Chains A and B, each alone.
Chain A
Amino acid sequence: MTLPKDLTRREIFVKVGIVLNSIVGVILAVPILRYILSPIARERSKSDDSWVALGELQQFPSGETRLATYRNPVVNPSDGQTADIACWVRNINGKTFQVFAVNCAHLGCPVRWFPQSGLFMCPCHGGAYYQDGSRASGPPERGLFQYDYKIEGARLLIKAGQLPTPGQPSQASNLVREIRPCA
């Protein structure tokens, strides 16, 4: 191999050194990026959702809406209380239920149930929802988020594990049609 005259041996070594470091850099970048992006990989695999028990059915009297809590199905040792999540359970007629996330569909603040007026109200920006979770007024664009539920024996179970946010692809079964007053 003939070398160009203006390139000394050392200059070539410098270039080879830079190339070597670039290759090592790329090799290291792969595990680093996979480490950083691991929360997304987990999200894609949908491994976070699973069925958790909310308690005995008798805790949720027919015709009433009660607050229930559960421990998130995926827990890390450092999570502390943050892995305890609350949700609203509405027992419609003793057989049919609705389980709502406490997170407002606007920006996620915790909504409170007012049985007297039959409304969920949000303390942050004033979103309000009817008892079936449909939007009543305020800034939310949709009704409350709902969990899938099933009854096993005398226990109520919901499929949970994610913080519900407005951007999530909504499952058709979870959508509450908005009840609009006729003008």
Chain B
Amino acid sequence: MRLVTSLAKWLDARLQLGSTIRETAEHAVPRETASWFYVFGSAAFVVFLLQIVTGILLALIYVPSAGEAWNSLQALNHNVPLGWYIRALHGWGSNFMVAIVLIHMVQVFLFGAYKYPRELTWIVGVFLLLVTLGMAFTGQVLRFDQDAYWGLGIGASIASRVPVLGPSVVHLLLGGPIIAGTTLSRFFALHVFVVPGLLIAFVTVHLLMVIKLGINEWPVPGRLVRKATYEKEYHELTKKDGLPFVPGAIWKDLFFSAFVLLSIAGCAYYFGPFGPSGPPDPTIIQTAPRPDFFFLWLYAVLSFLPPSMETPVLLIGPVLIILALLLLPFIFGEGEKSWRRRPIAVLTILLVAVSLTAFTQLGEHTPWSPVMDAWSGVPISKDLLHNRTALERQGALVFQVKQCHNCHSLGDEGGKRGPALDAVALRLTQDQLIRQVIQGGGNMPAYGKNLSPAETTALVAFLETLHPAGQRPAQDASRSVVLGENTAADASNPR
């Protein structure tokens, strides 16, 4: 013990850091900030440390070459002892880090911590969110599989829409004319050197400001922030009712960080690593690429935007969002901090949360994508074919063979791209069905060139049987009058 003490004394005599560290550790913080609401920032930092450690461990095996990366991931998963677990820790650590950074941001926003004098702390925090997302995206690219390859294609397609500079931006992003070796190399450099470097720099400034300016006090409804008096009030608060950060507040940070690390370890053990999916071979086109969890919402948004809106929204939207986040502390730098008296702030958070959740949920199910194998893999239920004429059954065959099932569901099976057809005969008359099939429209391709008249007749005959029992299918009332036909016969007996 004496040896340790004398060694510490020897070091401190030369480093001269002991008193600074002690002062920082024991600086007074407002008593109420020793709260479970104030643990997310430190937890994000601890997860970042885990990411550094596991990232270095992965770099021992990973080969950042387009020809070898996928194989080295397979080796990590299957050949290197516990390689799969380190990959799983890094992957789950990434998800937890994004989640905790978002929660931290919501807490800071709702507690008004971005107000005077912590505007710059918030701004650096916004940059930290961006670089965290940057780490998540570039990390997804390093898992160089099919999703990564086509994900890069999506990134390039978005970047190419920049006016005038688009093609140059694409070449700069990919490091060449196609997605290939140089692309992976530059994303490796970004993920391992550039973005973590920025992250460390921003975290340092962020922490320094938290220490220098003091942690945001617990917001009390009615206690308003005024630039003229805030610092004096904060100083009095910590003096009157403060406690040293160590050990007064830090034990909750330590407990929560341990809990988070344990959760990551548990998820990594239980769910295992993410991918890699198929090899990054562009000639394998039987793939439906999907981004990682935290980008699914964007994937969903991209499929719902009308074509004409897409480029403006893609290029201007992010700029506006980031600008709004950066300007927030300057527009609302003073006044009420408590979320109890800031209904618009609460509603904003709720709106964003509900939107992101809904889009993520949609991104999980991709109802806008055709189910590519429904025509061959999802049979029509027997009930729909029972007691049908030969023509109607032939129509059901056309329905399958011509891939209608890829976009239209029957009995909740098949694609959701187009409307479900379980009751289509109630909505469309025979003539309308024929017109819709042949001419398409309303986001449906025209099948006129790919269906013979006989096939169209059969298909429409089948579609006309699709209505709930006991409800009459739609009929053109004028038709029977004009043609002098019997309406009942008309419904079951298409020309």
Could you give, for residues 154-183 of chain A, a 1 whenever the CB lies within 8 Å of some chain B CB and a 0 otherwise? 000000011101111100000000010111
Q: Is the beta-carbon distance between A167 and B162 smaller than 8 angstroms? A: yes
A102: chain B residues within 8 A (beta carbon): 282, 285
Counting CB contacts under 8 A, is A37 at the interface?
Answer: yes
Counting CB contacts under 8 A, is B360 at the interface?
Answer: no
| Interface size of A as a range | 35 or more
Q: Whole-angstrom distance from the CB of B157 to the nearest CB of chain A?
A: 4
Counting CB contacts under 8 A, is B289 at the interface?
Answer: yes
Q: Which of A76, A119, A163, A165 has the most chain B CB atoms inside 10 A of its CB? A: A163
Q: Is the beta-carbon distance between B181 and A80 smaller than 8 angstroms? A: yes
How many angstroms from the CA of A82 to the CA of B369 in the assembled complex? 25
Of the candidate stretches B205-213, B377-385, B435-443, the one touching chain A is B435-443
Counting CB contacts under 8 A, is A8 at the interface?
Answer: no
Counting CB contacts under 8 A, is A107 at the interface?
Answer: yes
B153 partner, pick from A103, A114, A118, A138, beta carbons under 8 A: A103
How many angstroms from the CA of A181 to the CA of B438 in the assembled complex? 9
Q: Whose C-beta in chain A lies nearest to the C-beta of B287? A: A110
B67 partner, pick from A81, A85, A124, A183, beta carbons under 8 A: A81
B73: chain A residues within 8 A (beta carbon): none
Of the candidate stretches A15-23, A24-32, A52-60, A67-75, the one touching chain B is A67-75
Q: Is the beta-carbon distance between B156 and A110 smaller than 8 angstroms? A: no
Could you give, for residues 405-430 of chain B, a 1 whenever the CB lies within 8 Å of some chain A CB and a 0 otherwise? 01100000000010000000000000
Q: Is the beta-carbon distance between B181 and A165 smaller than 8 angstroms? A: no
Counting CB contacts under 8 A, is A109 at the interface?
Answer: yes
Q: Is the beta-carbon distance between A42 and B160 smaller than 8 angstroms? A: no
Counting CB contacts under 8 A, is A133 at the interface?
Answer: no
A136 partner, pick from B154, B308, B440, beta carbons under 8 A: B440
Could you give, for residues 109-153 of chain A, a 1 whenever the CB lies within 8 Å of some chain B CB and a 0 otherwise? 111101011110111111010110000111111000000000000
Counting CB contacts under 8 A, is B168 at the interface?
Answer: yes
How many angstroms from the CA of A94 to the CA of B114 in the assembled complex? 69
A83: chain B residues within 8 A (beta carbon): 178, 180
Counting CB contacts under 8 A, is B450 at the interface?
Answer: yes
A140: chain B residues within 8 A (beta carbon): 307
Q: Is the beta-carbon distance between B279 and A107 smaller than 8 angstroms? A: no
A85: chain B residues within 8 A (beta carbon): 178, 282-283
Q: Is the beta-carbon distance between B282 and A84 smaller than 8 angstroms? A: yes
A39 partner, pick from B174, B279, B305, B406, beta carbons under 8 A: B174
How many angstroms from the CA of A163 to the CA of B299 in the assembled complex? 21
Q: Whose C-beta in chain B lies nearest to the C-beta of A36? A: B172
Q: Is the beta-carbon distance between A81 and B302 smaller than 8 angstroms? A: no
Q: Is the beta-carbon distance between A84 and B303 smaller than 8 angstroms? A: no
Q: Is the beta-carbon distance between A168 and B167 smaller than 8 angstroms? A: yes
B287: chain A residues within 8 A (beta carbon): 110, 123
Could you give, for residues 283-300 of chain B, a 1 whenever the CB lies within 8 Å of some chain A CB and a 0 otherwise? 101111100000000010
Counting CB contacts under 8 A, is A64 at the interface?
Answer: no
Q: Whole-angstrom distance from the CB of B116 to the nearest CB of chain A?
A: 35
Counting CB contacts under 8 A, is B171 at the interface?
Answer: yes
Q: Is the beta-carbon distance between A82 and B181 smaller than 8 angstroms? A: yes
Counting CB contacts under 8 A, is B187 at the interface?
Answer: no
Given contacts A42-B177, A130-B445, A162-B177, contact A167 B372 (CB under 8 A): no
Counting CB contacts under 8 A, is A78 at the interface?
Answer: yes
B307: chain A residues within 8 A (beta carbon): 139-141
Q: Is the beta-carbon distance between A74 and B176 smaller than 8 angstroms? A: yes
Given contacts A72-B178, A107-B153, A119-B403, contact A39 B286 (CB under 8 A): no
Q: Which of B286, B402, B445, B449 has the most chain A CB atoms inside 10 A of its CB? A: B445
Counting CB contacts under 8 A, is A92 at the interface?
Answer: no
Give residues of chain A (28-54) contacting chain B, Cβ–Cβ below 8 Å. Answer: 36-37, 39-40, 42-43, 48
Given contacts A42-B177, A126-B369, contact A167 B167 (CB under 8 A): yes
How many angstroms from the CA of A79 to the CA of B70 in the assembled complex? 12
How many angstroms from the CA of A30 to the CA of B441 in the assembled complex? 55
B161: chain A residues within 8 A (beta carbon): 166-167
How many angstroms from the CA of A107 to the CA of B168 in the assembled complex? 17
Q: Is the beta-carbon distance between A108 and B156 smaller than 8 angstroms? A: yes
Q: Whole-angstrom distance from the CB of B370 to the nearest CB of chain A?
A: 5
Q: Is the beta-carbon distance between A108 and B369 smaller than 8 angstroms? A: no
A78: chain B residues within 8 A (beta carbon): 65-68, 180-182, 184-185
Q: Whole-angstrom distance from the CB of B399 to the nearest CB of chain A?
A: 11
A138: chain B residues within 8 A (beta carbon): 368, 443
Counting CB contacts under 8 A, is B310 at the interface?
Answer: yes
How many angstroms from the CA of A166 to the CA of B404 in the assembled complex? 28
How many angstroms from the CA of A119 to the CA of B446 in the assembled complex? 10
Q: Is the beta-carbon distance between A43 and B181 smaller than 8 angstroms? A: no
Q: Is the beta-carbon distance between A128 and B282 smaller than 8 angstroms? A: no
10 more contacts with CB within 8 A, not counting A78-B182, A167-B159, are: A79-B66, A81-B66, A103-B157, A107-B153, A109-B153, A112-B285, A121-B406, A124-B154, A126-B303, A130-B445
| Interchain residue pairs A-B with the least CB separation, the first 5 | A80-B67, A167-B160, A167-B166, A78-B181, A108-B153
A-B contact pairs, 18 of them (CB 8 A): A78-B180, A80-B181, A82-B66, A84-B282, A84-B283, A86-B285, A103-B153, A107-B154, A109-B153, A116-B402, A117-B445, A121-B403, A123-B369, A126-B369, A137-B443, A165-B156, A167-B162, A168-B160
- Interface residues, chain A, with chain B CB atoms under 8 Å away: 36-37, 39-40, 42-43, 48, 67, 69, 72, 74-86, 102-103, 106-112, 114, 116-119, 121-126, 128, 130-131, 136-141, 161-163, 165-169, 179, 181-183
